[in-house]
Amino acid sequence: MNDVQNQPILAVENLTTSFHTRDGWKPVIRDISFHIDAGETLAIVGESGSGKSVTALSTMRLLPRDKSRIEGRILLEGRDLLKISEAEMRAVRGGDIGMIFQEPMTSLNPVFTIGNQLAEALVLHRSMSWREAEAEALRLMERVRIPAAKDRLHEYPHKFSGGMRQRVMIAMALACRPKLLIADEPTTALDVTIQAEILLLIRELQKEENMAVLFITHDMGVVAEVADRTLVVFRGDMVESGETGRIFANPTQPYTKALLASIPRLGSMGDARGPRRFPEVDLTTGIASEGLEMVRTSPETKPVVSVSNLSIRFDLPHGRIHAVENVSFQLHPGETLALVGESGCGKSTTGRAIMRLQKPTKGNIFIGDKDIADISGQELRRLRRSAQMIFQDPFASLNPRIKIGDAIKEPMLSHRLMSRSEAKDRVATLLSQVGLSPDMAERFPHEFSGGQRQRISIARALALSPQVIVADEAVSALDVSVKAQVSNLLLDLQAEHDLAYLFISHDMSVVERISHRVAVMYFGEIVEIGPRAAIFDNPQHPYTQRLIAAVPIPDPSRRAIMQPADSPEIRSPVRPMDYVHPTRQYREVSPGHMVQLDDHVGAA
Amino acid sequence: MNRVVRAFAKRLFGMLIVLLIVATLVFIIVRVTPGDPAAVMLGSDATPADIAQLRERLGLDAPLIVQYGHFMLGLLKGDLGHSIFLNQSVGQALLARAEPTFFLTLFSILIASAIALPVGILSAVKRGTIFDQIVVTLTMVAASVPSFWLGLILIQVFAVQLGWFPASGYGGPATPFLDRLGHLVLPAVALGVVNSALITRFTRAAMLDVLGDDYVRTARAKGANERRVVLKHAFRNALVPIITVIGLSIAMLVAGAVVTETVFGLPGVGNLVVSAVLRRDYPVIQGTLLVVAAIYVLINFIVDMLYVVADPRVRL
């Protein structure tokens, strides 16, 4: 490392970044040091609020100048980025350092074409003319494997899927052949199968360019897949750093141990037949409680939800989307049925139909013995009591101006179930049931963390003592340790109240833990359904197999998803108006385990 | 451009429907006004025979549905009727007075935008600074100032004391064109300044909204300079609300011409309405109402079209 030839691409020394608050300067990261060599990948891993994104933004000097203070040294090939002028820094941004962000849906400018945005970086840094830059932009799009790049060059971002937008972002970041690529949670918002493709793409391009990569993530599975070395951060402090293999095999710090212990892992179910609680980990000691198996108390009874031949279609000016096609399943009291699949597969639409938030085109949905299509008025209100929903985004699903106690009280009052004072007592009970303190009822949503807000949403859903809860990605947005706690809460509440869950999720490792049965959806259809163990241990449908294989395994010695795979062509969900859906045959693999026979996925 | 053409055709059709409804409403409003127009026009001394004669001349003796048919047929031919007092068709009367109203509106909105856009953008970029706070305070003050009061002050200073511009009036057809426009400077400044307040606030808010967006960060990460980040990446995205408020301001200026033109003694469309109302010149009121409504609809149509151009995601 003393050799000038071998000096690291990026060396960060004693980086401390402070934000200006009402109480003066408050450090958000303290004394962070690391280096990255050419061709190497360093992962910075930590939960939300750990300062990992601040580290990246400090390196790029992208934090608001008047509200932040950066101390220490950030050496890019020996040049201190904190000492150069703003103009020199602009040459570094997008030139020497490329950056991709978490949100592919919002990171591209909606009013300029893809080609224009790609060309901009080239015009800025490589003094090309716009015409030359557009030609180069086309080559870049082909390099990140965007199909039909030539036609898509002049399209706007809203016509691209999330995965495709992230490819565009990567192309943009790599336009000027940077020495360092900073990837800030680049795959967090993507489906697992798309995530695998994007990670592979980054890896390949890194090899070709011998780039250093700073990879920021909260996902230990992704870390294990991509990182040569890993830096663990916790509340702004460096906890531990070293070879990724060593960190996973032999973590020395309690926090690292805790982080590793709380990761949901595929295949950790052992012989358990029902769901198993997540081990809960003390973040300061790193000691994990054993995740107990939940024993189902209620015997098989009549299903509480029964969906048969449900189809939901959306008509567009130029065709029709078959969002849900001929879906049938039953859900029993005390049971969790997971609905899995990638975004756009129809799983949320199915959940919304059960809540009668979405009108079915065809088919029946029974809750208890009532067909929900037929009811209205009083009966519908009663139905709404028996089925409740929890949403994904704990920040957006609570009204910021309503005290959480009132938010939980509202359904009880609007259904005229009890008086105000009774409702107040009930709120206190509900809050303690979800692990919050009753005196928190007087607070507003912004005073709570993401995990606490999700607990509030659960309390609100429980307020009417429902029989069914539709949980749409209810734990997806939460940090690992919080995810484990909230999942455990759901399991406990299920055992206590004999609740039936329709658990809509794309997160296979959580699904494996908490469900009794799993239904895999693909392009609006259930392609495989069965007991959890059967689906995970013996997946039959090619899509199920692909879905399970794409889940990153938090074990650096078993890198699995980085094998180049034939990704099937992305199909348009829009069909002609006169399209008639083929009738499908199912085969029973084992009792209750059905797989669709007509293999339309196209994989071997 | 297929998207734009389709949106254009769709909105054009919608606009025609709206105009049809407006015309019908205008027809009804004039008919339900209390009192017999003929009696009101002729005054209290009129004999029933005079009134009947006038009713016949105005076509008011025919059944309502026939009157409506005549009215709509006339509209199709571009005939807005004939003024009772001006010895002119309503169309001619409007055309003769369109010039000051048109140029006053145009200059006012140009002045307002020329002040509001740079100040609003700068204020958003320098959020929280002294400059920003001054802008926020001044726009609040300016928005609460009536334009006629500001107009009177301007007349006092620049016309009466300094004598740089005429205090009121517009000159006749014989006055050279530029001299006529010179009469508009003070009123246009008064209206422009007052209207700039609202546009500035909207521009500032719209810019603040988009400056926090992810793609603005992306542009910075690309190495774009601040000027480019603000004017290209952010401003283009803030355009939709800004276009909206400018469109609304134009519509308000046209509708507000009644007050402005009275204060500055301008012989424009607003002036025409005021005198028509005072003299119960129903055809003129009716015709002007229709034309102003049509302009309103047209401005909204243009604003809608600009949305489509400004934001590729907009579909009408």
pLDDT single digits (tens) A509-547 = 889 888 999 999 988 899 999 999 899 989 999 889 988
Show residues of chain B in contact with A87, CB under 8 Å. Answer: 225
Residue position matching structure tokens 């003050």: B141
Closest approach of B216 to chain A, Cα-based (Å)? 8
On chain B, the residues whose CB falls within 8 A of the CB of A108 are: 215, 218
pLDDT attached to residue A569: 46
Q: Fold match between A1-96+178-252 and A306-596?
A: yes
State how far the Cα of B276 lies from the Cα of A475, in Å rounded to an integer.
Answer: 69
Q: How far apart are CA A414 and CA A546, in angstroms?
A: 46
Residue of A nearest to B229 (CA): A109
| B223–A95 C-beta distance less than 8 A | yes
- Kindly give the pairing relationship between strand A387-390 and strand A305-316: unpaired
Tokens 């031949």 correspond to what residue?
A309
Instruction: Give me the pLDDT at residue A296, please.
Output: 62
B310 touches chain A (CB under 8 A): yes
Q: How far is B214 from chain A (nearest CA, A)?
A: 5
- Is residue B313 within 8 angstroms of chain A, CB to CB? yes
Single pTM value for the model: 0.80
CB contact under 8 A, A124 and B219: no
CB contacts, 8 Å: A168 with chain B? none
pLDDT of residue A601: 45
CB contact under 8 A, B222 and A93: yes
- Identify all chain B residues contacting A162, using CB atoms and an 8 Å cutoff: none
Residue among B218, B224, B313 minimizing CB distance to A108: B218
CATH number of A306-596: 3.40.50.300
Measured CA to CA, the distance from residue B28 to residue A428 in angstroms comes to: 61
Residue B302 has pLDDT above 70, yes or no: yes
CATH number for the domain running over A1-96+178-252: 3.40.50.300
Determine the distance in angstroms separating the CA of A510 from the nearest CA of chain B, rounded to an integer.
30
N- to C-terminal Cα distance for chain A? 48
Structure ipTM: 0.78
Task: Indicate yes or no: CB of A107 within 8 angstroms of CB of B223.
Answer: no
Interface residue B105 vs chain A (CB under 8 A): no
B227 touches chain A (CB under 8 A): no
Q: How close B99 gets to chain A, by Cα (Å)? A: 37
Q: How many CB pairs under 8 A join A and B?
A: 70
Q: Which residues of chain A have pLDDT under 70?
A: 1-5, 270-271, 283-292, 294-300, 560-573, 598-604
Which residues on adjacent β-strands are paired with residue A276? Answer: A293
Q: Could you tell me if residue A364 is left (phi over 0), alpha (psi between -120 and 50 degrees) or otherwise beta?
A: beta
Question: Which residue in chain B has the smallest CA separation from A93?
Answer: B223
Q: Do A172 and B222 touch (CB under 8 A)?
A: yes
Q: Which of B214, B225, B311 sits opposite A101 (nearest CB)?
A: B214
Considering only CA atoms, which of A303, A221, A261 is closest in space to residue A517? Answer: A303
Strands A229-234 and A41-45: parallel
- Check residue A604 and give its pLDDT: 35
DSSP A526-577: EEEEEEHHHHHHS--SHHHHHHHHTSPPS-GGG--TTS---PPPPPPSEE-T
In the prediction, which pLDDT does A286 show? Answer: 64
Rounded distance between C-alpha atoms, residue B259 and residue B263, angstroms: 6
CA distance A68 to chain B (A): 15
DSSP state of B230: I
Phi, psi of B272 (to 5 degrees): -60, -45
Task: Give the Cα separation of B62 and A158 in Å (integer).
Answer: 58
Tokens of A193: 């199968």
Handedness of CA A588, A590, A596, A599 (dihedral sign): negative
Helix, strand, or coil here: A102?
coil
With CB atoms and an 8 Å threshold, state whether B312 touches A121: no
Enclosing H/E stretch for A502: strand A500-505
What is the residue extent of each domain of chain A? Answer: 1-96+178-252, 106-177, 306-596
| Helical pair A450-462 and A480-497, crossing angle rounded to 10 deg | 10
Confidence of residue B131 (pLDDT cuts 50, 70, 90): very high
Q: How far is the alpha carbon of B82 from chain A, nearest alpha carbon, in Å?
A: 47
Q: Which of A261, A285, A188 is nearest to A484 (CA)?
A: A261
Cα A406 from chain centroid (whole Å): 30
Q: How far apart are CA A83 and CA B288, in angstroms?
A: 67
| Burial annotation A475-484 (CB, 10 A radius, 16+ → b, else e) | bbbbbbbbbb
B127: closest chain A residue by CA: A66
